[in-house]
Structure 1
Amino acid sequence: MAIFQPSIEGRRVESLANLESFVRSAEHGSFSEAGRRMSLTPVAVSRNVAMLERNLGVRLFHRSTRRLVLTEAGEAFRLGIADRLEGIQAAIAEAATGGREPAGTLKVSLPPTLGLTYVLPLLPGLLKRYPRIRPEWHFESRPVDLVAEGYDAAIGGGFELSPGIVARTLAPAHIVAVASPAYMAGRVPPTDPAGLQSLAGIVMRAPRTGRIRRWTMRDAAGNEMPATLPETIVVNDPMAMREAALLGLGAAMLASADALPALESGGLVRLVPRWYADAGAISLYYASRTLLPGKTRAFVDWVTEAFGSQKLAERFAGSFG
């Protein structure tokens, strides 16, 4: 198979597969993980990267038995092509659909509170721009199997990244301690996470494991401390925790995204504001970077642009206090 194709000027254009193999390997520090994300074998990814290095005449990675590390030339090359690669892939997908308007049923899984608060309000604009899309949106508190259950996309965290599934980070998933002003009236606010145990606790029992969720909080300096709330009230849904806290029934550990509207309105106040727990990331999941259906590409771009324009990653960051 030809590695280069002549351009009009007589120069050569590098294979897209080689470029994507390089970028994914750089992102994950592993040929194996890059292959899993691209539905290729580690050997195929390694071969693609080696061909790219040979064609460019530079070494892009320092290789060891444990991890790949970019060389100086590799880092410069990654910075030069990473943003352009997605644009090229989007153009390929658009060409494959013949430029047709995005259409069809768009099946998406969304966590209830985040989905209702931040994503559902984006739907009128999306449908005005793409009127042939037919939303089928499921608001559910579970990681779905995109391929087996026929979802075009999902938003959330903790999904298993089976081969071919892409996770695009939208914002941090930070957990903060909150209570209502009415509940805290007359009480001395705790000065660190250990002090939360003196308050009535609104806690959640995880539906899948049956266990009470426990968190370890950290501060900007990297100090860590367990945050132990008494099991005064036990629920099985994050929205129920938030509503119970708004009713003045005690303190709760909530995702900052779920708590933000009430914090901004004054319905809740943040406790130990220098501390937060890190639950990973809120990500947008879909089946492949290349040759996405137009409806999925439209949704991915619409949501990503909205999270950026509304600065939700910054607003969700519990580390900002």
Structure 2
Amino acid sequence: MSVRLTPARPAAAPIGPALAAVAAGEPVVLVDDHAPAGFLVAAAETVTTAVTAFLVRHSSGLLCVSLPGAECDRLDLPPMPGASRFEACVTVDAATGITTGISAHDRARTAALLAAAGSTGHDFTRPGHVIPVRHAAGGVLHRRGVAEAAADLARAAGRRPAALFAALVGLSRPTELAGPPELARFAEDHGLAAVSVGDLVTHRLSRDPLVTRRATTGAVSDLVRAVGYTGAFDGAEHLALVTGSPAGADDVPVYVHRECPAGDVPGWLRCACRPGLDTALTAITAEGCGVVVHLKPNRFRAGESGEEEFLSAVAAVIVQDLGVRSVRLPAGQEAHRAAFELRGVPAGRFGG
């Protein structure tokens, strides 16, 4: 068999300019791919009065600070009653160093205090004028929300994972949120870097480890050995079923098998898609060298947006960890190709 390589998909918009801006204490425009809406975002730990005033002037005026759940608990920030859109906590003001709490200076101090490692719950009064928002621990790889994206931006820029953000309003209709054309124009007019939630997802899928190899491995049969992996964010247990010596090899046949809800590892005795797994194992055994990646999708609810993209990236990381240099994907699994290419593993397909 031969392999046919085709050009990789175009790279997502680079997020380097946005990271540089956030690291320098400047605001950026964050585009929510699904809303569609846009937000002004800045690292909370370094936010200034001037940046906060800029956010207030061009937004709805509702300022939020994205925080890790552990920080919300440590600072005694319980959920806001009736909150639905975000994981909003009770509003706060800094307990000292402010006046009414509403000015840009006061809200900048409150935001910076929320981000500070040494702050305690006693450093805030409740209610106030800043809304702390609890973001998911895995960031955009767990939930593709604005709070997660804002915190991921701050973290990737070398700041603490706490970000001040506010929704941008329309240029011509200030009572409505800005749409995509207005967001692009606003960023250009003000010389701001722009980045989308999807860009951040792609950035993390291309760089984050996603899984760790477990210490123990085992034999499935005389010809197939199993290598176990654990998800970095969800603890999901995945397996690579390996034949031959794929390390350092090119054009290695790889099958990606997503466990159905009835499956159980390692026996798969109740798995409704067991025949597909058996077919893949038979194929790589016949080839003499290959990998079947058995994925257990615990992290997302069934049908959650981004599930398949994430699992494809997990498969690519596992294959990369095994030392495979390039892969061949069977017919029907072309959708995984983009993830392999994103991780730097050239992916072709079976065929003459």
- TM-score (normalised: structure 2): 0.24
Structure with greater proportional helix content: 1
